[in-house]
Amino acid sequence: MHNAKERALRASRAAARRKSTIEGGLAVKPKPFKVLVAIHRPKYRSRMLRGLSMFDWDVRSLLNKEDPIGILNQHETNILVLSDDFGRNRELGFFKAAQRFRPQGVYIIGVFDTEEDANAASELYDMSLYTPWKSLHAKVVLAELFQRIKGEPPVIRNDVVHEELEEQ
């Protein structure tokens, strides 16, 4: 019996220490910057992921069968990258459904085939990419949105910078 009381006392002390460090601001971790990628075509999806590889952010790339709106409901996300032809998207349905997350701080990047398609849906996204676009364009758009959200420029991963310097 003495052993059980001792374990309970140690557990309560440990919980109190954890609580005090969190309240004292010592163990508070900044929330990771999260990006959700829902692009239908593998060519465009890989370009976007290449552009995102420059930053140290949490990135989730969806398959065509997955539901981006359901994932937005489950997980806090900063940027949603959505193509007009993703999954079962009809008449820009995912774009319209994602509008309710914009007041919560979700920014939407639309990926379109043509400039005309992008202009037709201009009220449904914050920034857009349309063909021909490269991963460099994606980096610029993502960095600009990060600056708009956080108020500071994004931190570039060191290993990526070293790889790019070695290639030159």
User: 73 near 97, Cβ under 8 Å?
Assistant: no
pLDDT tops 70 at residue 151: yes
pLDDT of residue 13: 73
pLDDT tops 80 at residue 166: no
- Give me the mean pLDDT over the 127-142 stretch: 92
pLDDT bucket at 162, cuts 50 / 70 / 90: very low
Q: Which residues neighbour 126 within 8 Å (Cβ) at sequence distance 6 or greater?
A: 107, 108, 109, 145
- Compute the mean pLDDT over every residue in the chain, rounded to the nearest whole number: 83
pLDDT digits (tens, 9 = 90+) for 20-75: 555 555 555 677 899 999 999 999 999 999 999 989 899 999 988 889 999 999 98
pLDDT of residue 87: 74
pLDDT tops 70 at residue 120: yes
Q: Which residues neighbour 70 within 8 Å (Cβ) at sequence distance 6 or greater?
A: none
Q: Where are the alpha helices (DSSP H) in the chain?
A: 2-23, 42-52, 68-74, 93-97, 115-120, 135-150, 158-167
